[in-house]
Amino acid sequence: MESLNLISLRATSPTPRAAAGFSFQQSLNPIPKNSSISSLMPQAHKKNQSFLGQISFPAIKSQQFEVKDGSSTASETSVPEVDALKIKEWEVGMYQNEVAASQGIKIRRRPSSGPPQHYVGPFEFRLQNEGNTPRNILEEIVWNKDVEVTQMKEKKPYAVLKKLLDKAPPARDFIGALKAANARTGFPGLIAEVKKASPSRGVLRENFDPVQIAKAYEKGGAACLSVLTDAKYFQGGFENLELIRNSGVQCPLLCKEFVIDAWQIYYARVKGADAILLIAAVLPDLDLKYMTKICKLFGMTALVEVHDEREFDRVLAIEGIELIGINNRNLETFELDIANTKKLLEGERGQKIIEKGITVVGESGLFTPADIAYVQEAGVKAVLVGESLVKQDDPTAGIAQLFGKDISL
């Protein structure tokens, strides 16, 4: 039975929908042109489409991205907000969860039991139950991101970003930089992470100057940099990405975000990102395909992250993916095991990677030259390293220590 816990009681803000979060109408991902919603449904779910028949999809305020002859446009349609429409939005949100679940994705994109907040006069109550309580940290991050992106999109809609895109400097070749570093040093190309804190480790560096750290990494021989842009859980920000981009640092930059909406790719590009992280544990195949295409359109690289065999197989089946990260950290439990990289690259999967010419990045938990040698032996051509470098007083020296050699030369 559902437990009824009063977990918050506060005056409502002037914009209760935004304060409550989980407002779905602006957070629907754009649906590729010429796709009907039923064509996006897995077969197993097609029989269960009672609510779909009643939804007029064009009527939902949505932002649709169109790709035509290599050019991109975004359009917005508005309709009056009515209660019935809100109910439909919930149904669509739940449907997204269903599609994801059918692909083995355990992370729910948003709460499945309806809006968690209930308004009684000026007060707000939350009824806690399994459907509206995140099951793990990754799910919590994703649900919060949904609210955050909805609010950011209101401030900077596609039309605004499109104009800013034209002014952004061209994207740098992320994979090219990794390959060149690998060829030059004989070690995996290094993506060094500019990260102040993380949910699993807390604050990693009190005295955190993103530009100083980025310059130290570049000096130490990093091929590329990864910049955390999430503020709530990692104490990062898009301002860090922008500051580093404008500081004269030449390394291509990865926007380390929790992407749930194509709008975030536009925003990252405007802020100077050359690459962006797409997490297979969060994004269904259709999103991965679609977002990868948007990245290509912008000259950006998608780093598609997997943690287990199922995610790896899904991603290997998608055409056009050139960079795959194997995360040694389970983002639901925080468990770290660098043997995960080896396990996933053994046998047929490793063979497929070679045949398809995909570059693999070993991610997380790399602290010593032996760790680097271990994942290199497993088949990676690049590594993504955060904690062991960012904690060093001198991150330049930290890189030489990590590789057991000065790789800047």
Query: Could you list the residues that contact ligand LARABZUK (CB under 6 A)?
Result: 137-138, 193, 195, 198-200, 327, 329, 331, 334, 363-366, 384-387
Determine whether 305 is an active site residue: yes
The residue among 51 and 334 lying less far from ligand LARABZUK, judged by its C-beta, is 334
Determine whether 356 is an active site residue: no
Instruction: Measure the CA–CA gap between 143 and 153, rounded to whole angstroms.
Output: 16
| Choice among 124, 139, 242, 363 that is catalytic | 363
Determine whether 89 is an active site residue: no
Q: How far is the CB of 197 from ligand LARABZUK (least distance, A)?
A: 9
Determine whether 140 is an active site residue: no
The residue among 137 and 165 lying less far from ligand LARABZUK, judged by its C-beta, is 137
| Choice among 89, 139, 305, 311 that is catalytic | 305
Q: To the nearest 10°, the Cα dihedral for 126, 132, 135, 141?
A: -80
| Choice among 23, 226, 327, 328 that is catalytic | 327
Q: How far is the CB of 226 from ligand LARABZUK (least distance, A)?
A: 7
- Cα distances from 202 to residues 66, 71, 131, 386, in angstroms, run 41, 43, 28, 13
| Choice among 124, 139, 193, 387 that is catalytic | 193
Q: How far is the CB of 72 from ligand LARABZUK (least distance, A)?
A: 29
Q: To the nearest 10°, the Cα dihedral for 162, 293, 96, 102?
A: -170
The residue among 117 and 388 lying less far from ligand LARABZUK, judged by its C-beta, is 388
| Choice among 145, 195, 196, 342 that is catalytic | 195
The residue among 195 and 381 lying less far from ligand LARABZUK, judged by its C-beta, is 195
What's the alpha-carbon Rg for the chain, to the nearest Å?
22
Measured from the Cβ of residue 146, the count of other Cβ atoms closer than 10 Å reads: 22
- Cα distances from 155 to residues 86, 160, 173, 367, in angstroms, run 21, 9, 30, 41
Residue number, nearest CB to ligand LARABZUK = 386
The residue among 132 and 327 lying less far from ligand LARABZUK, judged by its C-beta, is 327
Q: How far is the CB of 394 from ligand LARABZUK (least distance, A)?
A: 17
Q: How far is the CB of 329 from ligand LARABZUK (least distance, A)?
A: 5
Determine whether 346 is an active site residue: no
The residue among 138 and 372 lying less far from ligand LARABZUK, judged by its C-beta, is 138
Determine whether 193 is an active site residue: yes
Q: How far is the CB of 255 from ligand LARABZUK (least distance, A)?
A: 13
The residue among 98 and 308 lying less far from ligand LARABZUK, judged by its C-beta, is 308
Instruction: Measure the CA–CA gap between 67 and 77, rounded to whole angstroms.
Output: 17
| Choice among 215, 256, 271, 381 that is catalytic | 256
| Choice among 29, 364, 381, 388 that is catalytic | 364
* Residue 91 tokens, joined: 């149904």
Measured from the Cβ of residue 233, the count of other Cβ atoms closer than 10 Å reads: 16
Determine whether 195 is an active site residue: yes
The residue among 20 and 107 lying less far from ligand LARABZUK, judged by its C-beta, is 107
Place of tokens 């919930």: 90
Q: How far is the CB of 120 from ligand LARABZUK (least distance, A)?
A: 34
Catalytic annotation, residues: 193, 195, 256, 305, 327, 363-364
